[in-house]
């Protein structure tokens, strides 16, 4: 059975009977985990193994695990610094900042991979214009070159641990005040300005082999009346065409307020896939997941199947062995030294 185009979530730390049935649906291709799905490393490892055991090829298991405010698993995991910390160091010691970013990218990915998780939706490639509270310290820097330098280092660290990187939120969420979780942000800037600044880090990482990209639920009014994740212009003309991106395009959560402009959940799913997304996310609303599975209709994209298969976990790591590895111990010390500049978890 091929991987379907829908990524769902779970209600708790185990798969319920109803969820098991949903995950066997041919339209499902992955599961995104949240804090509510985590109790301990041992429990998480079993949960991931149970999800992987349902299908062949196995369903992709993902998580938002950037560090700082967005880190789903905490107790038992290393507390990771927010991306802004690397940007602050970059202003004075760019070489050291890049080394630290690579170390923390490896550490994040290695800990997740040791428990079987396929990938994390990281890093954030948005620019910090100082106006977006939902982005804020999740961004590396205001300068696109600095973001590109730090993000490529972070991605290299992830790759060393056997995990591909997924950049977000294309073409850039940092210049709008509203939070697309609860509002419909509109960016009024010129296309030329967005390309010259916000898109630059994405282009840099695409050239470096970026595996996935998540577009923003933001309308760029001077360019298209649709949010980027539903825009063929942004996804096909710019991302696939101009930037040459060959990886997976994930929608952001289709239940977010910024997606509601595209209609009901079925209309949103169809529109995102038609615009160029390979996989769409439905989170925190089980009834919407059922509705989409029941009514989306047949969707078979052989090219998307190949792209998604590239995200399967690589390099088998063991949780116990990892924690005995001097490289892990040194990386934890680095993260500990950077810790304390964050502001607690962000509920997304």
Angstrom distance (rounded) from CA 202 to CA 197 = 10
Catalytic, 198? Answer no
- Non-local (6+) Cβ contacts of 92 within 8 A are none
Angstrom distance (rounded) from CA 282 to CA 68 = 24
CA distances to 187, 273, 328 from 168, rounded to whole Å, are 16, 18, 27
Q: Which long-range contacts (CB under 8 A, 24 or more apart) does 197-200 make?
A: 197/127, 197/144, 197/172, 198/126, 198/127, 198/144, 198/171, 198/172, 198/174, 199/170, 199/171, 199/172, 199/238, 199/243, 200/144, 200/145, 200/147, 200/148
Catalytic, 252? Answer yes
Pick the catalytic residue from 9, 126, 179, 252.
252
- Terminal Cα distance for the chain, rounded: 31
Nearest to 331 by CA among 85, 79, 137: 79
Structure tokens at 295: 């009514």
Q: How far is CA 51 from the centre of its chain?
A: 19
Pick the catalytic residue from 25, 181, 299, 312.
181
The catalytic residue positions are: 181, 252
């Amino acid at each position: 059975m091929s991987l379907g185009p829908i990524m769902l979530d779970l209600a708790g730390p185990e798969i319920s009977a109803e969820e098991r049935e949903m995950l066997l649906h041919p339209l499902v291709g992955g599961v995104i985990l949240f804090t509510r799905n985590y109790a301990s490393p041992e429990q998480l490892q079993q949960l991931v193994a149970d999800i992987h055991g349902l299908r062949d090829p196995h369903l992709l298991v993902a998580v938002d695990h950037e560090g700082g405010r967005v880190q789903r698993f905490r107790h038992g995991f290393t507390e990771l610094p927010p991306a802004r910390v690397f940007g602050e160091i970059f202003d004075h010691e760019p070489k050291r900042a890049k080394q630290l970013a690579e170390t923390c990218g490896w550490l994040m990915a290695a800990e997740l991979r040791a428990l079987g998780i396929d990938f994390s939706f990281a890093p954030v490639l948005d620019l910090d214009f100082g106006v977006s509270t939902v982005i804020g310290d999740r961004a590396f820097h205001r300068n696109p070159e600095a973001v590109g330098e730090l993000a490529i280092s972070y991605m290299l660290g992830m790759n060393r641990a056997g995990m591909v990187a997924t950049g977000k939120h294309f073409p850039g969420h940092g210049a709008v005040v509203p939070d697309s979780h609860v509002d419909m942000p509109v960016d009024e800037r010129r296309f030329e300005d967005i390309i010259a600044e916000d898109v630059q880090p994405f282009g840099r990482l695409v050239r470096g082999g970026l595996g996935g990209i998540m577009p923003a639920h933001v309308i760029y009014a001077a360019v298209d009346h649709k949010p980027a994740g539903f825009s063929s212009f942004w996804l096909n003309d710019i991302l696939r065409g101009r930037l040459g991106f060959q990886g997976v395009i994930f929608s952001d959560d289709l239940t977010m307020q910024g997606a509601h402009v595209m209609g009901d959940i079925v209309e949103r799913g169809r529109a995102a896939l038609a615009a160029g997304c390979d996989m769409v996310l439905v989170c925190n609303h089980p009834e919407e997941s059922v509705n989409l599975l029941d009514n989306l209709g047949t969707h078979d994209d052989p090219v998307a199947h190949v792209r998604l298969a590239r995200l399967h976990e690589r390099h088998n790591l063991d949780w116990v062995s990892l924690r005995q590895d001097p490289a892990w111990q040194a990386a934890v010390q680095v993260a500990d030294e950077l810790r304390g500049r964050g502001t607690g978890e962000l509920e997304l």
